[in-house]
Amino acid sequence: MSKKKWRWGILSTANIGRTRFIPALQSIPDVEVVAVASRNLQKAEAFASECGIAEAYGSYQELMEHPDIDILYNPTPNYLHVSLSIKALEYGKHVLCEKPISVTARELDQLVQAQQQYPLTRVMEGFMYRFHPQWRYIHELIQDKKIGKITHIHAIFTYFNDDPADVRNQDNLGGGALLDIGCYCVDVAKMIFNGSPKSIQSYVEYDPIFSTDRLTTALLEFKEGIATLVCSTQTFSFQQVYIHGTKGRIEVNIPFNSASDEEPRSIRIVTKEGVLKKTFDQINAYVLMAQAMQQAIEKKHPLPITLQDSMETMAIIDRLLYPKNNGFGSYTP
């Protein structure tokens, strides 16, 4: 029996597709990147030529109508994620949608309903960091109680970008720090504590020109412990996750992404016995994510990241943005 050839289409000429996801797909033997679409045909053709893609289209509709595509990758601006993913489902295409999968939980509910209406097609949010082996190893450490009971997680993700033309700085397009990178901090806290927080406190600072949230600090109270989060689009670039337990801590210095997807990563486990450094072989998390999605679809297994999982993440982000007064606020459901 021959192995299935997975045919992917790319919605938009977003840079993350060019630099990260398309090269990852093209490195997988059983994958073919068939076509790319943009709202500008010339842009799509130039992108296709640069990336070695055979077909280019001047509308998203044409790509969705393509009969030979199995999965669409959706890295469009955040405000288009839900509407285009729903349209793809209607055309019988599976969708891997870049994070954040929506702008609000209410909007995501529309996609959840569409998924129920088209059960033969699947949608998954693209949190590629989850598929890196370092996180599987960290889960094993936690399950084996190598650092005791988890009491606190601290996650920070920042960069500096004050370009008014960048979609991440355009509020009406779904910009802002929380949706762009804060979603990683929320997701990792939820993943480690295996649930949603009981209460939330947050401080949100908005850009006076862009109206986007440019700095958020938050405290999330889970049943088993506390998470503190920091994300910013106007702070020097940095990312880190510390997981504190009663008998030690785990330090993750490249928890989410890096300049090179195959850059070696290492973590430190600090206990009273000393410091253990664990280094992981070079590997591309985007490749692992695509393969995991394909395998789940082929075997009719639940997707590694379900829409229910995504809904829980978006609900937390909604609550983090609840205080709209540029000051400290709290919200308990």
Residue 262 has a pLDDT of 67
Q: What percent of the chain has pLDDT over 90?
A: 92
What average pLDDT does range 81-93 have in this prediction? Answer: 98
Mean of pLDDT values over 186-201: 96
pLDDT at 11 over 70: yes
* Residues whose CB falls within 8 Å of the CB of residue 126, separated by 6 or more in sequence, listed in order: 73, 96, 97, 98, 99, 289
Q: Residue 301 has which token pair?
A: 């297994």
pLDDT tens figures, 113-155? 999 999 999 999 999 999 999 999 999 999 999 999 999 999 9
Could you report the per-residue pLDDT of 227-273, keeping only the tens digit for each? 999 999 999 999 999 999 999 999 999 999 876 766 789 999 999 99
Query: According to the model, what pLDDT value does residue 330 have?
Result: 40
Q: Based on the number of CB atoms within 10 Å of its own CB, is 24 exposed (0-12), middle (13-18) or buried (19 or more)?
A: buried
Reading the block at residue 260, the tokens are: 């090179």
Q: What is the dihedral of CA 188, 197, 172, 41, to 10 degrees?
A: 40
Instruction: Tell me the percentage of the chain whose pLDDT exceeds 70.
Output: 95
Could you give the domains of the chain? Answer: 6-128 (3.40.50.720), 133-286+315-331 (3.30.360.10)
